[in-house]
Chain A
Amino acid sequence: MKTLLKWFVPLMVLSLLLAACQPAATPTPEKVIETVTVEKEKEVVKTVEVEKPAERAVVRLSGWAASPEETALLQSILLDFTVENPDIVVKYEPITGDYWQQLKTSIASGVEPDVFYMDIFQFPAFVRDEVLLPIDDLMAKEGVKRDDFIPSLIDAFSDAGVTYGIPKDFNTLGLFYNKDLFAQAGIAEPTDDWTWDDLKAAAEALSDPANNIYGLGVPADPGRFPIFVFQNGGSIMTEDYSDTLLDSPVAVEAATFYTDFRKNQSGAIPADVGEGWQGTVFGKGQFAMVYEGGWLIPYLKQQFPDINYGVVTPPAGPKGEGNLIFTVAYVISRNSKNPEAAMRVINYLTSEKAQTKVLESGFALPTRLSLQNSEYLKTNPASSAIFRGALQGARPFVWGLVGSDVNEQMGKALERIYLENQPVDESLKQAAQVIRQKIAEVK
């Protein structure tokens, strides 16, 4: 009866709300696929006959499907894995739509995949509720060393000395700048050694509000603003996430600096020029500088191929460097029946060979330290700047169990300053109070 109840969990509230039912996760077919066909590089179709061993461990792998090309690349890596490991069958089950909603409901019904993507932002809740398998022993068995990975990434997916995930890829923020607008204004292009003063002076020189051109994009975005707090020696949350530091004097100072760009008309939010995302505004040449991650590079290549831009690491603040790390890891479910096989899959997917493939396709940055000297990064200065960010005082994008609330409140605090002219300290104090209320709620 209990398992029966669990099956209906995804349906009940939804059917109440929407009067529409969502199909429950389809049970995996028992049939073992003998022939794997993968479309590789559009035209070449590769078919590999796999010998059938007596016993094969099944590993179900799930993640969001970012793009058809990325999915195809992952499938081709998995195909190579199958050829080398005939005793393991990997069932790749990409989730389209709302990943977290579907993953959490599948965990509630006990049908979650063995291996799945884990965003650092969601990590604390999954660790606290003991969904993830500690993998230190499995790593030792498989010969995976923590030291091979960028420390800030592997540390992010560890808790109390226990490792729970192998980082798959990451992003940091870089300062993207429009070279043509800099040349027009007649000022020197940014370097990795820039500071807040340089940033402010350049933004003022570049702005031309009459023509809808602004120096810096300063969106009310919780994924951008925190780096200014870090650069000012502050933090968003305390070390153990038990309280917020959003209303601390250094944070207020950072927020004042950030929001003053718009006040002085040397910066703007995307909505000011009728857009939702500053990446588009940057592509259109209306923002001369934006803080964005590596995802902007392929977007510009596709949508705005003519833009002449460069990327440097974020300018340092009064208290030095500060950056955010957005990272995703492969984790194993505690309910997995084949944890060893799962670990072998993860090891293969994060191997130097596989990560080189991903890197060269331009989808994501590798998490292995050994790849920092790769050819690709040498010939792609934009990606290289994003990669270097992880080694320069960057902190993971994670605010504990109430992460979404912290994000929401940070965004609202900035919106109140922008749209309702609320004083900065008052707005941050209001946000901090709500966050404290949320922390009390999940205790």
Chain B
Amino acid sequence: MAQTVSTRPAGLFRRVSNPEKRKKRSEALTAYIFLLPYLFIFLTFTVFSIGYAFYLSFTRYNLLRPPEWWGLEGYRRVLCLEALLPRGEDAPPLACDDLFIKKALPNTVKYTLIVVPTQTVLSLILAFAMDQKLRFRRLFRTIYYLPSVTSSVVISLIFVWLFSPLGIVNQLFNLNINWLNDPRYAFYTIMILNVFTTSGTLMLIFLAGLQDIPTAIYEAASIDGANKFQVLRYITIPMLRPVVFFVVTVGLIGCFQVFDQIYVMTSGGPLDSTTTVAYLIYKWAFRDTTVKMGQAAALSFILALIILVFTLIQRRIIEGSGSVGSA
């Protein structure tokens, strides 16, 4: 607590002659009192937990025995550095798990690269459509938003039925695909599910962004004789840039952490085709007979680092030469 308070200007309780300043200080104090309950929860359950997890990432810990200091061994085992080198047939077994570099990381990157652009473009198109003066516009907006307010576990279970071999999807398109049990299709099924559930929320954000663009600019463009496409290309999309940055960032972080749909629908199978980094963390931390809490914690921090790097790269790309502004 003391730390938080001391970040404010040094003389919080010093006598101030200026009544303006005094008012400001008392406002700040009130604000902190209001923030206190949240700060307490935040510090114990987020800051402390992350700190302790960071400590655990340098230990060997199976929950049954106290953690034992292990240095960087956990990180080495996650990255499985030796596995990156060619090894002979009869080489002794490696003391590491190459599931991360061989399956979880490529799967997660693939998932992100497919889902993020798809859901962004789809929700942008939806937002444009909903921005027009359509009949039943409100009804459509509600329908598109509905999946986003439904529990992801419930939607996952519904999708399990929809995509079962005798399910409605196969019947409708006259297919005979075992969507969730075939390593070739299982991951794509989950991608479809994710695009379906998130597009509604992203549409709403884009819609807010669209309605934020001042009409004066459009009017000016129409006076200058710009056609619809030019308006879209030179006004709407550039003006939406901060919103696009937000949507892509949120989507990116969400995709890298995709977990619940996989937990419910496939448990990482078949043949690890749907094992993602977040699911692998869960598996190591809780599923194994001998749990690897330290290794799981190490992977959590590696994942955080990956997300940070990807967000920075993407910020570069979207910013381009111009500036993103307040986003």
Contact partner of A441 (CB less than 8 A), chosen from B96, B164, B286, is B96
A54: Cβ under 8 A from any B Cβ: no
Q: Which of B49-57, B189-197, B219-227 contacts A (4 or more CB under 8 A)?
A: B49-57
Output the nearest chain B residue to A109 by Cβ-Cβ distance: B63
Contact partner of B270 (CB less than 8 A), chosen from A12, A21, A419, A440, is A419
Q: Give the size range of A's interface with the partner.
A: 35 or more
A273 to B257, CA, bound (A): 33
A389 to B46, CA, bound (A): 51
Tell me the minimal C-beta distance from B278 to chain A in angstroms: 6
Q: Which of A27-35, A339-347, A378-386, A402-410 contacts B (4 or more CB under 8 A)?
A: A402-410
A121: Cβ under 8 A from any B Cβ: yes
A119 to B305, CA, bound (A): 38
Contact partner of A122 (CB less than 8 A), chosen from B65, B272, B289, is B289
By the criterion CB–CB under 8 Å, are A131 and B64 in contact?
Answer: yes
Q: Mark A406-430, 1 if CB is under 8 A from B, else 0.
A: 0000001001100110000000000
B48: Cβ under 8 A from any A Cβ: yes
Tell me the minimal C-beta distance from A234 to chain B in angstroms: 21
Q: Quick one: which of B77-93 are within 8 Å of A by CB?
A: 77, 92-93
- Given contacts A126-B64, A271-B165, A17 and B93 within 8 Å (CB-CB): no
B27: Cβ under 8 A from any A Cβ: no
By the criterion CB–CB under 8 Å, are A12 and B95 in contact?
Answer: no
User: In the complex, what residues of B have CB within 8 A of residue A12's CB?
Assistant: 48-50, 52-53, 56, 297
B62: Cβ under 8 A from any A Cβ: yes
B183: Cβ under 8 A from any A Cβ: yes
A196 to B282, CA, bound (A): 41
By the criterion CB–CB under 8 Å, are A415 and B271 in contact?
Answer: yes
User: In the complex, what residues of A have CB within 8 A of residue B287's CB?
Assistant: 404
A26: Cβ under 8 A from any B Cβ: no
User: In the complex, what residues of B have CB within 8 A of residue A433's CB?
Assistant: 93
- Given contacts A105-B63, A271-B165, A436 and B93 within 8 Å (CB-CB): yes
By the criterion CB–CB under 8 Å, are A412 and B271 in contact?
Answer: yes
By the criterion CB–CB under 8 Å, are B64 and A13 in contact?
Answer: no
Tell me the minimal C-beta distance from A102 to chain B in angstroms: 10
User: In the complex, what residues of B have CB within 8 A of residue A9's CB?
Assistant: 52, 63
Output the nearest chain B residue to A129 by Cβ-Cβ distance: B64
- Given contacts A107-B63, A129-B62, A129-B64, A13 and B297 within 8 Å (CB-CB): yes
User: In the complex, what residues of A have CB within 8 A of residue B278's CB?
Assistant: 17
By the criterion CB–CB under 8 Å, are A442 and B46 in contact?
Answer: no
Find the residue from B281, B287, B290 having the highest chain A CB count within 10 A: B290
By the criterion CB–CB under 8 Å, are A98 and B52 in contact?
Answer: no
Find the residue from A11, A16, A98, A129 having the highest chain B CB count within 10 A: A16
Q: Quick one: which of B254-280 are within 8 Å of A by CB?
A: 257, 259, 269-272, 278
By the criterion CB–CB under 8 Å, are A274 and B165 in contact?
Answer: yes
Output the nearest chain A residue to B180 by Cβ-Cβ distance: A271
By the criterion CB–CB under 8 Å, are B296 and A108 in contact?
Answer: no
By the criterion CB–CB under 8 Å, are A13 and B48 in contact?
Answer: no
B293: Cβ under 8 A from any A Cβ: yes
Tell me the minimal C-beta distance from B140 to chain A in angstroms: 31
By the criterion CB–CB under 8 Å, are A17 and B300 in contact?
Answer: yes
User: In the complex, what residues of A have CB within 8 A of residue B281's CB?
Assistant: 13, 17
Contact partner of A8 (CB less than 8 A), chosen from B52, B94, B269, B288, is B52
By the criterion CB–CB under 8 Å, are A104 and B53 in contact?
Answer: no
Contact partner of B290 (CB less than 8 A), chosen from A17, A18, A401, is A401
Tell me the minimal C-beta distance from A151 to chain B in angstroms: 25
Q: Give the size range of B's interface with the partner.
A: 35 or more
- Given contacts A16-B300, A125-B289, A271-B178, A419 and B63 within 8 Å (CB-CB): no
B240: Cβ under 8 A from any A Cβ: no
A126 to B166, CA, bound (A): 43
- Given contacts A12-B52, A415-B271, A274 and B289 within 8 Å (CB-CB): no
User: In the complex, what residues of B have CB within 8 A of residue A8's CB?
Assistant: 44, 48-49, 52
Contact partner of A403 (CB less than 8 A), chosen from B93, B289, B292, is B289
By the criterion CB–CB under 8 Å, are B93 and A437 in contact?
Answer: yes
User: In the complex, what residues of A have CB within 8 A of residue B94's CB?
Assistant: 437, 440
A282 to B290, CA, bound (A): 34
Tell me the minimal C-beta distance from A218 to chain B in angstroms: 15
Output the nearest chain A residue to B272 by Cβ-Cβ distance: A412
Output the nearest chain A residue to B160 by Cβ-Cβ distance: A276
User: In the complex, what residues of A have CB within 8 A of residue B297's CB?
Assistant: 12-13, 16
Contact partner of A13 (CB less than 8 A), chosen from B178, B270, B296, is B296
A5: Cβ under 8 A from any B Cβ: yes
B319: Cβ under 8 A from any A Cβ: no
By the criterion CB–CB under 8 Å, are A443 and B63 in contact?
Answer: no
Output the nearest chain B residue to A98 by Cβ-Cβ distance: B286
Contact partner of A437 (CB less than 8 A), chosen from B46, B95, B289, is B95
A107 to B96, CA, bound (A): 26
A105 to B178, CA, bound (A): 37
A437 to B97, CA, bound (A): 8
A21 to B257, CA, bound (A): 16
- Given contacts A13-B53, A13-B296, A125-B62, A18 and B259 within 8 Å (CB-CB): yes
User: In the complex, what residues of B have CB within 8 A of residue A125's CB?
Assistant: 62, 64, 289-290
Q: Mark A124-160, 1 if CB is under 8 A from B, else 0.
A: 1110010100000000000000000000000000000
By the criterion CB–CB under 8 Å, are B285 and A13 in contact?
Answer: yes
By the criterion CB–CB under 8 Å, are B97 and A441 in contact?
Answer: yes
- Given contacts A104-B64, A433-B93, A5 and B289 within 8 Å (CB-CB): no
Tell me the minimal C-beta distance from B187 to chain A in angstroms: 14
Output the nearest chain A residue to B288 by Cβ-Cβ distance: A404
B311: Cβ under 8 A from any A Cβ: no
A370: Cβ under 8 A from any B Cβ: no
A16 to B288, CA, bound (A): 19
Point out residues on B near A: beta carbons under 8 Å.
44-46, 48-50, 52-53, 56, 62-65, 77, 92-97, 164-166, 178, 181-183, 257, 259, 269-272, 278, 281-282, 285-293, 296-297, 300
Q: 17 A-B residue contacts at CB 8 Å?
A: A11-B49, A13-B281, A13-B285, A16-B53, A17-B281, A104-B286, A274-B165, A274-B166, A402-B288, A404-B287, A416-B271, A436-B93, A437-B94, A439-B93, A441-B97, A442-B290, A443-B95
